[in-house]
Structure 1
Amino acid sequence: MQGIAALQPYLIAAFLVWAALLKLLSRRMRAQAGRTALARLAGPARAVPLLRLVAVAELAVAGVLLAPPALPWEGTAAAALSTGFLVYLAYGALAAPDSSCGCLGAHGRPVEWRSFARAGLLMTMSAVAVAAGPYAFDPMSAAVAAAQAAALLGLSPELDRHWLRPLRQLLVKVRAPLAVREPGAIPLETSLRLLYRSPAYCSASALLSSDIQDFWDDGGLRFASFAARGRTAVFSIPLTGGLPADVRVALVEEPART
């Protein structure tokens, strides 16, 4: 347990430095800051300075965690910062559910359950860090630290475009929907390649919560449906001779259950 506790300050500090640098160095921060929940809370004009201030606080806490010796109050400071994140996320989810949190710079993903889970994991790690001392390598603590780092990345919706979307595309390639339903029919893979390059898919990808669920052909178009946060996203894809710009999307409300 002591080895696990000793690694927590380094993991937390690495994540805080990463989040702070994305806020400070992102070229799109000024354009995206007005779409965050912080802009709803403090006003669009104050959003950028406040995000920069949060970044400075993150760097300060990271510096404290990395500076020897390890002291209990350092973990307490990290826990307080994580608690502040949770309170802010709760406000964003209630007052501005379509806004992003701005946690990792200019990414525009709305607040979702993974954002809360990430902040909760950071708070738990901070509580464990209160008991941190000198670190002596052992395989178990290293494995736990690696799992925690992977969890932090997996619980960051802002990173989905780097791993989740490619994973969905890979699953589509190996699962049954890729099978050709009729002899001579255009493979679904061909349509999906066109879909994934289209502006319509890029604009709706943040809402998608599944890979392809169903597809059908009608009138020279192939329709593909995806789950999209309580709705269904239906894309129309030209079967032949189409360009990515020809793909269209419609969001269909799911019928209320009685």
Structure 2
Amino acid sequence: MQGIAALQPYVIAVFLAWAGLAKLSSRGHPDKTALARLVGPARAVPALRLVALAELAVAGVLVLPPHEVWEGTAAAALSAGFVGYLVYARVNAPASSCGCLGSHATPLNRRAFLRAGLLLAMSVAAVWAGPLRVSAWLAGLGVAEVAVLLGLSAELDRYWLTPLRRLIVRIRKPLAMAPGGFPPPLEASLRQLYRSPAYCSVSRWLSSDVQDAWDEDGSRYVSYAVGGRTAVFAIPLWETDPSLVRVAVVDEPEMAADRAP
């Protein structure tokens, strides 16, 4: 337990330094944050800078030896202030962002409270911090704690969570349907068609919009007029790759004979 307590000042210092620098380098206007509601719009920017300087000051004393009780107490007081600020924001300005990492317009959600609560618990543990004896498992714990704090920061979602969600959607293809289910709408097939090399190769000669469309043997067939002939595209129903689209240009009498009952 002593080793865990000795680790906390460094983890807290990393987070506070990052939060303070983010506030100082923020180019946005904190008008939509709860801080503007608390101190007034005219004083929001100076207040944000003052909080940033306090975070940097506490981060500085936490990493400099020796570790005194008052240093952890200062971190705990700052963290308790964060929790109180979030409670105020939830009650008085629930639609605002907290501005915890600058003036980013992120909603005040459960993750912000979890982050502040975790920071407070770590700060309380830092009160009893002693000299840190570095070991592999403590280093791993420190990395994990920093990762959790960053993961609870909605302000960073655009850097990792949003790309991850896009990757999952691209891999899982939740809108794709298995054979035997309801076929995708015609508009989806047409979007695939318009991106296909087959369509691009004959699009200049098309003289009509979609004339007919029907599904058969796992493919959707779409026909267009090409002068006195007909272009028929075969679009796979259960695949989304545009390169799989095929085209054939046929005479209209043959087309009519093929479709006749």
> TM-score of the superposition, structure 1-length normalised?
0.68
**Identity %, equivalent residues:** 61
- Once residues 112 and 106 of structure 1 are traced to their aligned partners in structure 2, the CA distance between those partners, rounded to angstroms, is 16
Partner residue in 1 for 2:128: 131
Query: Cα 1:129–1:175, aligned 2, differ >3 Å: closer, same or farther?
Result: same
Structure 2 residue 22 is the aligned partner of structure 1 residue 19: no
In structure 1, C-alpha distance between the alignment counterparts of 2:123 and 2:155, rounded to whole Å: 22
Corresponding position of 1:242: none
TM-superposed deviation, 1:178: 4.1
Task: Structure 1: give runs of 5+ residues left out of the alignment.
Answer: 191-258
Q: What are the superposed Cα offsets for residues 44-67 of structure 1, whole Å, 9 maximum, x if unpaired?
A: 001001111111111111111111
Instruction: Count matched residues.
Output: 186
Map residues 229-244 of structure 1 onto 2, 5 A cutoff.
Answer: none
Equivalent position SS for 2:61: helix
Alignment match, 2:109: 112
Correspondence 1:21-170 to 2 at 5 A: 21-28=21-28, 31=29, 33-170=30-167
SS state of the match for residue 59, structure 2?
A: helix
The equivalent of 1:9 in structure 2 is: 9
Contact 2:35 2:44 in 1 (8 A): yes
Contact 2:97 2:105 survives alignment (8 Å): yes
Distance 1:47 1:137 in 2: 41
* Distance of 2:68 and 2:184 partners within structure 1: 69
Residues 51 and 184 of structure 1, relative CA distance in 2, 3 Å threshold: closer
Conserved 8 A contact 2:8-2:122: yes
Quote how far apart the aligned CAs of 1:143 are. 2.0
Aligned residues of 2:33 and 2:103 also touching (Cα < 8 A): no
Q: Is 2:168 the counterpart of 1:171?
A: yes
CA distance in 1, matches of 2:71, 2:60: 10
Q: Secondary structure at the match of 1:97?
A: coil
Consecutive unaligned residues of structure 2, counting only runs of 5 or more, are 193-261
8 Å CA contact 1:86, 1:120 repeated in 2: yes
Q: What TM-score, normalized by structure 2, do the two folds share?
A: 0.67
Deviations 1:133-171 (A, max 9, x none): 111122222222121111101110111111111111111
The CA distance in 1 between the partners of 2:116 and 2:101, in whole Å, is 12
1-structure distance, mates of 2:101, 2:170: 31
Q: Report how far residue 174 of structure 1 moved.
A: 2.1
Counterpart AA for 1:137: V
The 2-side partners of 1:85 and 1:146 are apart by: 23
Q: In the alignment, is the contact (CA less than 8 A) between 1:117 and 1:155 conserved in 2?
A: yes
Q: CA deviation at 1:183?
A: 7.2
Kindly tell me: are residues 129 and 173 of structure 1, through their superposed partners in 2, closer, same or farther at Cα, counting changes over 3 Å? Answer: same
Q: Distance in 2 between matches of 1:59 and 1:184?
A: 56
User: In structure 2, how many angstroms separate the alpha carbons of the residues matched to 1:5 and 1:17?
Assistant: 19
Taking a change above 3 Å as real, the CA distance of residues 157 and 184 of structure 1, as seen in their structure-2 partners, is closer
Root mean square deviation, CA, Å: 1.9
**Bigger CA radius of gyration:** 2
